[in-house]
Amino acid sequence: MLAISFYCDVLSSNLAAATPTCVRDKRLDQIKIISNSLSAMMYLIVLLIVIPIVFYLYGVKNYSYWKKRGVKHDDPVPYLGNNVKQYTQRASMAMTATDVYRRYPEEKIVGFYRGTSPELVIRDLDIAKRILMTDFHHFYPRGLLTHKTVIEPLLKNLFFADGDLWRLLRHRITPAFSSGKLKAMFPYITERAEKLTIVAEEYAANKTVCDVRDLMARYTTDFIGVCGFGINMDSLSEDNSEFRKLGKRIFHRTPRDALCAVLKHVFPEMFKNFNLLSPEIEESMVHLVNTVLKQRDYKPSGRHDFIDLMLELKQSGTMVGESIEERNPDGTPKIVKLDLDDLLITAQVFVFFGAGFETSSSASSYTLHQLAFNPEYQEKVQKEIDEVLAQHDNKITYQAVKEMTLLEMAFNEGMRMYPSVGFLIRECATNNYTIPEVDVTISKGVKVIIPIQAYHNDEKYFPNPEQFIPERFTPEAKKNIPHYAYLPFGEGPRACVGARLGQMQSMAGLAAVLQKFTFEPAANSKKVPTPDPKAIVSENIVGGLPLLIKKRNL
């Protein structure tokens, strides 16, 4: 460009000396136009070369992270890292993590890039224990939120929250799931379980195929409606109830949702105001909770459901506790406070609904699926149910369900084969944390993935993992399962707070239907279900779990 400018200056000088004034001025103007055009063209050429190079370098700037630390990993794709299949909805995160786990059988840890961010897949159980329990204070965040300060209202809940918000909420919400609270909720469970058998009776009488994945989701929806909101949703009777539609929408990932997730991961600051949840979900949940709060005059109603607990917490005043994030100059934790407003209540109800809706229904339906393909064990379970209920006036009670050990073993094996949540994520909250087992140091903000689905289906921990063998979970056999190889509800301080409630509700529903009905494979049943690549947090099945229901001859 300097050469062009110099050439044009020389040419202009020669013209000025040898040409009449009017002609000279005209030609000088032409030369200036040519000069400007050539300069603009050169600038454009430089930009066309420089911009792609800069764009490329920005997209790969972090991809030397694991190589510098000697951690094996797949070659990443610019901007998308090793997460291309999940971003394009061809594999869920659980499927992706399991694939990484299986392709590096000799490694304790494997590097991974989600977009441009380095993450770590944990293959070693001792390291998993360290992350989830031993060194939890270094890994207390889940790191599910892409931005630390701009957070969607409904995601300020116990599952997504990190730091002090999580600690205060966890401390105050945990009492909602005590043994006393669970017993108080059990009558609601038995009512829904009885309705579940009525619907199952219709399928048996009509000899029609039943998608048990959908059936158990409807049962769970009704239970959540009454135990969470004090509302009779009647999703079992109405296939298209609004509550059921809301549950489906929360866990259905549209192309818009997928694109939003990619943009927020790759460019978190630029797209921090993009919401992962659609406006319709937020509006529906806020309207629902506000309606119930107004009906109760913003005071506990005596129903002892989840919203009552939230109102009791609000009445008790400001939450106060020790900070997990900040310390005073003397090293003691700072005191932090939190006021529970209506929107924060809505966020907790949202996760109570979402977590219960998906995890409990999937666990119970997978169990029915396996029992249908293993009729000998189904008969054993039914015999046990008959014997236990005979000792409890033929009624499904809290104590009766606790005594159904064979059913519990089947339920545990179902969760092993098809865990509702196939992976856990934790984020390093400490600068330069060193993992002793491999002498690898990671930076603050690096996320680690615990691939639950891979652990559960590793023949090293569970011989013949593709086979349904409930005897793995007898009291004696359980002692041989390595700790942290079986994590259906997570482990450590951030383990699922509602695990016992979910298991109790699922077991009661299973006992109710298995007492009266036998489940068999349908013509279109698949012994090995096809996992849904579009699944988000909880795993799902393509095409549901179709089975035949037949009434037992009692």
* Domain regions of the chain by residue span: 2-59, 153-551
Closest CA relative to residue 511, chosen from 221, 180, 192:
192
Q: Which residues contact 277 (CB under 8 A, 6 or more apart)?
A: 152, 154, 155, 250
Question: What's the DSSP call for residue 549?
Answer: E
- Residue linked to tokens 């919203």: 307
Closest CA relative to residue 221, chosen from 88, 362, 81, 74:
362
The predicted pLDDT at position 160 comes to 92
Q: Which residues contact 346 (CB under 8 A, 6 or more apart)?
A: 153, 154, 285, 286, 289, 290
Counting as low any pLDDT under 70, the low residues of the chain are 1-38
Task: Pinpoint the alpha helices (H) of 255-341.
Answer: 255-266, 279-295, 306-315
Task: State how far the Cα of 58 lies from the Cα of 52, in Å rounded to an integer.
Answer: 10
Closest CA relative to residue 430, chosen from 446, 417, 419, 416:
446
Q: Which residues contact 422 (CB under 8 A, 6 or more apart)?
A: 92, 93, 94, 95, 97, 98, 451, 452, 453, 539
Annotated binding-site members for heme: 496
Closest CA relative to residue 516, chosen from 204, 118, 243, 227:
204
Task: State how far the Cα of 330 lies from the Cα of 217, in Å rounded to an integer.
Answer: 51
The predicted pLDDT at position 408 comes to 98
Joined tokens for residue 193:
């379980």
C-alpha 175: how far from chain center: 24
146-166 confidence digits (pLDDT tens): 877 778 999 999 999 999 999
The predicted pLDDT at position 164 comes to 94
489, 360 contact by CB (below 8 A): no
Amino acid present at 296: R
Closest CA relative to residue 119, chosen from 415, 451, 420, 380:
451
Q: Which residues contact 303 (CB under 8 A, 6 or more apart)?
A: 230
The CATH architecture assigned to 153-551 reads: Orthogonal Bundle (1.10)
Integer CA distances (angstroms), 114 to 111, 118, 257, 478, in order: 10, 7, 17, 35
Joined tokens for residue 368:
């029915």
110, 104 contact by CB (below 8 A): yes
Task: State how far the Cα of 518 lies from the Cα of 379, in Å rounded to an integer.
Answer: 9
Closest CA relative to residue 367, chosen from 357, 358, 377:
377
Amino acid present at 131: I
Q: Which residues contact 486 (CB under 8 A, 6 or more apart)?
A: 412, 416, 455, 456, 461
Number of neighbours of residue 41 by Cβ within 10 angstroms: 12
* Long-range own/partner contacts, residues 228-231 (CB < 8 A, 24 or more apart): 228/305, 228/306, 228/307, 228/349, 228/352, 228/353, 228/356, 229/288, 229/289, 229/292, 229/305, 229/306, 229/307, 229/349, 230/292, 230/301, 230/303, 230/305, 230/307, 230/308, 231/292
The predicted pLDDT at position 36 comes to 66
The predicted pLDDT at position 30 comes to 62
The predicted pLDDT at position 120 comes to 98
- By DSSP bridging, strand 109-114 and strand 117-122 are antiparallel
Question: What's the DSSP call for residue 154?
Answer: G
The predicted pLDDT at position 183 comes to 86
> Which residues lie across from 521 on neighbouring strands?
547
The predicted pLDDT at position 3 comes to 47
434, 443 contact by CB (below 8 A): no
- Residue linked to tokens 């690096």: 446
Closest CA relative to residue 415, chosen from 482, 493, 485:
485
